[in-house]
Amino acid sequence: MNNNVRNIEISGIRRFFNKVVKVPEAISLTLGQPDFTVPEDIKKAMIDAINLNKTSYTPNAGIYELRKEISSYLLKMNIGYSPEEICITAGGSEALYSTLTALINPGDNLLIPNPGYPAYESIGVILGAYISGYELNSDFTLNIDNIKKSIKDEVNNYLVLSFPSNPTGAVLSEEDVKKLYKLIKENNIIVITDEIYASLSYSSYNSIASYKDIREKIIYVSGFSKMFSMTGLRVGYVCASLPLLKEIIKVHQYNVSCANSIGQYGVLEGLKNSLREVENMKEEFTKRRDYIYNRLQSLGLEASMPQGAFYIFPSIKKFNMNSEEFCERLLYEGKVACVPGSAFGTAGEGHIRISYSYSIEEIAEGLNRIENWINSLK
Ligand code: PMP
């Protein structure tokens, strides 16, 4: 058995979800799976693709029309990658895995956000990287000094950025992205920017990938699981300058050969004709965010207002329980499931993640139960 693999655990999010399944009467606000169905045009394109027998391997990097469409889509956000600089992957997960595998040698320094999406650390551990968790400001925005402190002179540095953030909903401000640009330009550092929630930015959207003169140092990871509410169809992508992408594609090829063909045809249609529906989903998420934020405020649960994604990360420090204990009791006694903040790194302790990718009725009922349970503690 591989020692590095032995050293990692299954994700804390899934681990907790497995407990939730055993409490069938609980309301679950745990997962990052939007409750919307896949836009109709995408469904139809996938059915057509099946009927036209488009079920064989696609090129390793994905169907060219889709790479072209992604290239045009990104350009609207001032992010410039040619179709040749884009590889379609089996979800954002595989994009991250293939990218980090192509980059990292044992002992390289992997800088990851703390709190952050758990996959970064686990993939890094599997690859034998040295993990440097960088802490964020108290509102979970970027703290550039903490990143600077984590850079090491003697090894390669790989910086993972993750905005809009899972689990906090924080985004990158214009000011932060300028500071980052300077840091990247002046240091020996390659950036992997995971922007899978970019289409769910409620205020401004700023990406380090829009700076052209550092493009050789940037790898842009994204996907359609959240954007088109199609988590099970597994279509994501990675963009990088050709020398980097060439290495990533080698790993991708031996890993999955190509992303699933039917999903690729669905996404192609989605980028052409379903962007209005993405905007509608975003409007709905904004309403849910405002609702959940106000309810938590009135319950005295302090949280930063999420500016992107569909998670909120309130503090539970005043309850004198750790986040695992808080979530277990809330599940078994209050019948609501949220994810313990500790699943996202040491700096996630003292918080819980609530996903608002659920219907407003479920969110409202979940919050009623949280309110009753908190009152029962008094
Ligand atoms: N990055 C982040 C920040 C995520 O939250 C997720 C999914 N929860 C992924 C990547 C992976 O997404 P996919 O389903 O496309 O593999």
Alpha helices by DSSP H, listed for 52-87, are: 64-75
Please give the pLDDT value at position 360. 95
| Helices (H), ranges, the chain | 3-6, 12-20, 40-51, 64-75, 91-103, 119-126, 144-150, 174-186, 242-256, 261-273, 275-298, 323-329, 360-376
Q: Is 201 a pocket residue for ligand 1 (Cβ < 6 Å)?
A: no
Integer Cα distance of 94 and 287 in angstroms: 32
Output the CA–CA distances (angstroms, integers) from residue 75 to 68, 69, 209, in the order listed: 11, 10, 11
The whole-number pLDDT of residue 32 equals: 86
What separation in Å is there between the alpha carbon of 362 and the centre of ligand 1?
23
Residue 13 has a pLDDT of 78
Residue located nearest, by CA, to atom 12 of ligand 1:
92
**What whole-number distance in Å separates Cα of residue 206 and Cα of residue 201?**
9
Question: Which pLDDT tens digit goes with each residue over 254-283?
Answer: 999 999 999 999 999 999 999 999 999 999
| Residue 176 in contact with ligand 1 by CB distance below 6 A | no
Q: Given ligand 1 and candidates 166, 195, 197, 228, which is best to mutate, with the most ligand atoms within 8 Å of its CB? A: 166
Q: What is the pTM of this model?
A: 0.96
Residues of the chain with pLDDT under 70: none
32 in contact with ligand 1, CB cutoff 6 A:
yes
Predicted confidence at residue 7, as pLDDT, reads 85
Q: What pLDDT, in 10s, does the model give residues 74-112?
A: 999 999 999 999 999 999 999 999 999 999 999 999 999
Q: What is the pLDDT of residue 267?
A: 98
The domain 3-37+276-377 having CATH identifier 3.30.420.40: the answer here is no
Instruction: Determine the distance separating the centroid of ligand 1 and the alpha carbon of 126, expressed in angstroms.
Output: 18
Query: What is the Å distance from ligand 1's center to 92 Cα?
Result: 5
Shortest-distance Cα residue to atom 10 of ligand 1:
92
User: Phi first, then psi: what are they for 165, rounded to 5°?
Assistant: -95, 135
Query: What are the start and end residues of each CATH 3.90.1150.10 domain in the chain?
Result: 3-37+276-377
Atom of ligand 1 nearest to the CA of 225: 15
From the alpha carbon of 224, which atom of ligand 1 is closest? 15
CB–CB of 374/366 below 8 Å?
no
User: What is 57-273's CATH number, 3.40.640.10, 3.90.700.10, 1.10.3720.10, 3.40.50.2300?
Assistant: 3.40.640.10
pLDDT of res. 270: 98
165 lines ligand 1 (CB under 6 A): no
Q: Where in the chain is the domain with CATH 3.40.640.10?
A: 57-273
Q: Tell me if 308 CB under 6 Å of ligand 1.
A: no
Q: Which amino acid is at 337?
A: A
Distance (Å) from CA 301 to ligand 1 centroid: 27
